[in-house]
Structure 1
Amino acid sequence: MGLFLAVFAIFLVVVLAMSVGFIVQRKSISGSCGGIGALGMEKACDCDEPCDERKARMAKEEQWQQNRIK
């Protein structure tokens, strides 16, 4: 039981140190490669002509937006 408490305390100290470092740096969290913005893409799907599945999803969403109560 003592070993469990010691390991838990160490993990707690590490998480606390990471959170303090994050707060001090005031940087937004990003992936290791900088995310989609680093590639110059403005959205997740940057295709000129979306696939049929994507078109169906977009049409369904548009229909849902039109039928929504305002």
Structure 2
Amino acid sequence: MSVFLVTFSIFLLVIAGMAVGYIFQRKSISGSCGGLGPLGIEKVCNCPEPCDARKKREARAARAEEWKKNQIL
């Protein structure tokens, strides 16, 4: 049981250290390889056209961005 507690404590310390580093650096978490861009893959799926849910999401984001621009002016 003591091995479990020591291992659990170490994991908690590592996770807490990562959280503190993330909070202070204000950087997004990213992979070391740079994503799919270096492989020549532009998007995650091979769909020729995005699905309806994604189109709605993108339209909503565009409206929000336009609204922000209008609020600044």
After TM superposition, the score normalised by the length of structure 1 is 0.52
Deviation at 1:34, TM superposition (A): 2.1
The alignment partner of 1:8 has SS state of helix
CA RMSD in angstroms, aligned pairs only: 2.9
Structure of larger gyration radius:
1
Structure 2 residue 53 is matched with structure 1 residue 54: no
Instruction: Provide the rounded CA distance (Å) in 1 between the counterparts of 2:47 and 2:14.
Output: 43
Give, in angstroms, the shift of residue 5 of structure 1: 0.5
For the residue of structure 2 that corresponds to 1:54, the secondary structure is coil
Gaps of 5+ in 2: 56-73
Alignment-mate amino acid for residue 29 of structure 1 = I
Q: Higher relative contact order by CA 8 Å / sep ≥ 6: 1 or 2? A: 1
- For residues 13-47 of structure 1, give each alpha carbon's deviation from its aligned partner in whole angstroms, at most 9, with x where no partner exists: 111001100111100122212224x54x7x417xx
TM-score normalised to structure 2 length: 0.50
Matched residue pairs, number? Answer: 50
Q: Percent identity?
A: 46
Q: What is the CA–CA distance in structure 2 between the aligned matches of 1:9 and 1:32, rounded to whole Å?
A: 27
